[in-house]
Structure 1
Amino acid sequence: MAPSALHFGAGNIGRGFIGALLSDSGYHVTFADVMDKLINALNEHKGYTITILDVAPEEPTKDIKNVSGVMSNNPTELTKAIVDAEIITTAVGPNVLRIIARSLAAGIVERRKAGKTYLNIIACENMTGGSRHLGDEIAKHIADSEDKAYFEEYVGFPNCAVDRIVPPFDPGATGNVLSVGVEAFYEWIVEEPAFKGPRPHIEGMKLTDNLVAYVQRKLFTLNCGHATTAYLGYLKGYATVDESLKDSEIEKIVHDAMVESGQALCKKHGFDFEEHKKYIEKIMNRFRNPYIKDDVARVGREPLRKLGPADRLVGPTKMAVEYGLPHANLIKGIAACLMYDNPEDKQSVEVQTAIREKGLAHVCEDVLGFAPDSTETKLVLQDYEELKASSAKH
């Protein structure tokens, strides 16, 4: 009988990345989600097809099997899945972790009662310290002293860095809404010392004892460049990331922003800069992939989160400032994000409302963490006005 894995989030990333690796490694993967359409399809088809998008779309596909689904709002079924699981992963978005924490706490309590031992829960989100954050949220819902002792001894929360572009995908004539398209490249690096009990063997999972460096490398390079492309592209009316990068002005800003963040990363973590430049070129080629039609609004969604002081735009800027390194193009990315006005994105509306009501300088202080009289605030305001004038022409 196959070991059980539970994955929260049956969306494209869950199915096309982490869930697929778990299935390939011999696990029966149960997906938990609130979308009944996806859960019903998982229980009906018990599998789906992944298409590799680095080449023509009719090219290589891969069948993922031995999967099922459970509704996240069905406490009985979800608790059973938590009790049965040998590993739990998530791809739900950072803001949802606190929501699933209560259910995980209830399941962990039942695991103790059932005599289960080690369990590792890995939050595969684009955030620093995601798993540990989830662990802290779960701990809030565990009150009994015996349950707390069990939780501390047997449940591990290894942080990780994840990297794979999984854009929206049309399943076409397959009739299976679960079919998903992905790029061939992926990276899943997990913090080895944080595991409790035996380390699981999962194809494609790399263990490290220096995760912070890899998390920041990915967040401050790929996610930084991706977001910068999306916001600049959106302002010029482009629909996708690859289309945006055909604009030489955008391409140069994005590339130079990643070089700036790279110089700071190499200074902080000791990465070899020549190797890091190759990493940047690989990322640029991934962004240019014409078969991955990655919508700029999808990449740019939730700008408030992306403007966080330690996130993909402000984080590398502050690191560059700390080491006295260039950061002009990183600032342009921040300004473009502040210009991102999408009425269908709740966080975009919040940012635009704050700018109108409180002023851009206040937002730089309140959201970005830049002092009002800092050089960085002045540069953001300057670039913002230049982008505003430029976008008025498009």
Structure 2
Amino acid sequence: MKAVHFGAGNIGRGFIGLLLSQAGYEVCFLDVNEGLVSELKQRGEYPVTLASEGQETTIVKGVTALNSAAEPEAAARAVAEADLVTTAVGVNILKFIAPTIAEGLKLRAQSEAAPLHVIACENAIGGSTQLKEHVYGLLDERTKAWADRVVAFPDAAVDRIVPLQQHEDRLKVVVEPFYEWAVDRSQMLEGFVPVEGVHYVDRLEPYIERKLFTVNTGHCSAAYVGFLKGYATIQEAMKDEEVAGHVRAVLEETGAALIHKHGFDQAEHQAYIRTILERFANPALTDEVSRVGRSPIRKLSPGDRLVSPAMLAFESGLSYKSLAKSMAAALLFDVPGDPESVELQASVKEIGASDTASKYTGIAGEHPIMGELMSQYEELQAAVS
């Protein structure tokens, strides 16, 4: 079986590529980083080490790579001949890989190829659905009609902490032991071949929101509050009881909202929160605050990890005070190397914190959440000063 995976970065190699290889797939990575592509082509394998006491290492074999920018025809052919296509490129990059997938589908339509699943493994709600829209926008009506019958874009929820890292071996990846990959079974084509290690579910939204509003919300909350206290890594920040206490409070708020909406068992969700907090504090990981907090504009946007659970909590008559504090801390995330941070700070200077918050969160200035956000912002700003 052949899998094509877009994105040869740490998550692509250390999570999706690893699982696909262990499930029996030959994996072809598509990327634009010529250094990574060349080394993957040359070696055909790479090591993945668990951030655990035993530091167990797996050698992922049977892999290759193509430069999708320099070798567009070969990349399209790879898609045309694949049994499975996956991505881990970032939701904002999906539109840039859509042309390669579209060309691959056009080639595939000319043969009697088997059904194909295209799964976007991104930190986003409906990532595969978004990718499908980008791809279909590049197809003619005849190819769309064909794709409707034999190509599916099932949405997925993925979870594994893979920090930024540098090793002498540039292909080596260190990952946390925990992982979760859930795929919407209802969007799969009949007779699909399950991938070992993937959890197929009938309703994906609860899994996506549980992950997004617990792992991603908690992680960036630790980053933004940890940044204000001068910590370089999440692990250092989580040793500070004030930071850890804030993250726990945030996850209590998101947990209450999730239980209210999806009917999760309270004891099970509390156990899930404890697991997440332990993962953040894992001493075998070194996860930089600047990495976890990067792109604050995206993380403050409507529908993402801070605004969405805060609005859900408000609409459910539940507390959102700690979530508002995380949003306020995000407004103070000042990292010159992060373009979104630079844009955010420039906006605060130009139009003020309140209008900037409304501009990027979509929350009206008179909304109660905005009132709480600005109250928290003033307190944090005073403390930093």
Aligned to 2:30: 32
Residue 53 (str. 1) matches residue 51 (str. 2):
yes
- Give the corresponding residue for 2:113: 116
Aligned ranges for residues 122-133 of structure 1 at < 5 Å? Answer: 122-133=119-130
Question: Normalised by the size of structure 1, how large is the TM-score?
Answer: 0.95
Counterparts of 2:347 and 2:149, CA distance in 1? 45
Aligned to 1:299: 292
1:79 to 69, 76, 79: 76
* Amino acid across the alignment from 1:365: S
Q: Indicate the larger mover: 74-83 or 122-131.
A: 74-83
Q: Letter of the aligned partner of 2:105 in structure 1?
A: I
Give 1:138's aligned residue. Answer: 135
TM-score normalised according to structure 2 size: 0.98
User: Of the candidates 351, 358, 363, which is equivalent to residue 356 of structure 2?
Assistant: 363
Partner Cα separation in structure 2 for residue 196 and residue 357 of structure 1: 51
Which residue of 1 is the match for residue 15 of structure 2? 17
What is the percentage of aligned positions where both structures have the same residue? 42
Counterpart for residue 62 of structure 2: 66
Question: SS of the counterpart of 1:372?
Answer: coil
Which deviates the most, 162-171 or 336-345? 162-171
Equivalent positions of 1:88-107 (< 5 A) are 88-107=85-104
- CA deviations 1:153-187 (Å, max 9, x no partner) are 11101101100011123434xxx311100111100
User: In the alignment, what sits opposite 1:218?
Assistant: 211
Give the paired residue count: 384
User: 1:195 offset after TM fit, Å?
Assistant: 1.2
Question: Aligned-pair distance for 1:67?
Answer: 0.3
Structure 1: state its 5+ residue gaps: none
Structure 1 residue 263: Cα displacement: 0.2
Residue 152, structure 1, aligned to residue 148, structure 2: yes
Alignment of structure 1 residues 316-331 onto 2, 5 Å: 316-331=309-324
Q: CA separation in 2, counterparts of 1:123 and 1:364?
A: 30
Query: Shift of the alpha carbon at 1:197?
Result: 3.9
Q: Secondary structure at the match of 1:113?
A: coil
Structure 1 residue 364 displacement after superposition: 2.6
2:330 corresponding residue in structure 1: 337
**Aligned-pair distance for 1:363?**
2.3
Give the deviation of 1:117 after TM superposition: 3.4
Unaligned runs of 5+ in 2: none
Q: CA RMSD in A?
A: 1.1
Task: Pick which of 366-375 and 76-85 moved more.
Answer: 366-375
**Could you tell which deviates more after superposition, 121-130 or 301-310?**
301-310
Asked if 2 retains the 8 angstrom alpha-carbon contact of 1:190 and 1:208, the reply is yes
1:90-113 CA-partner distances (Å, limit 9, x unpaired): 000010001111111111011001
Contact 1:118/1:197, CA 8 A, preserved across alignment: no
1:371 and 1:321 mapped to 2: Cα distance? Answer: 14
Aligned partner of 1:311 in structure 2 is 304
Q: Is the 8 A contact 2:214 2:273 kept in 1?
A: yes
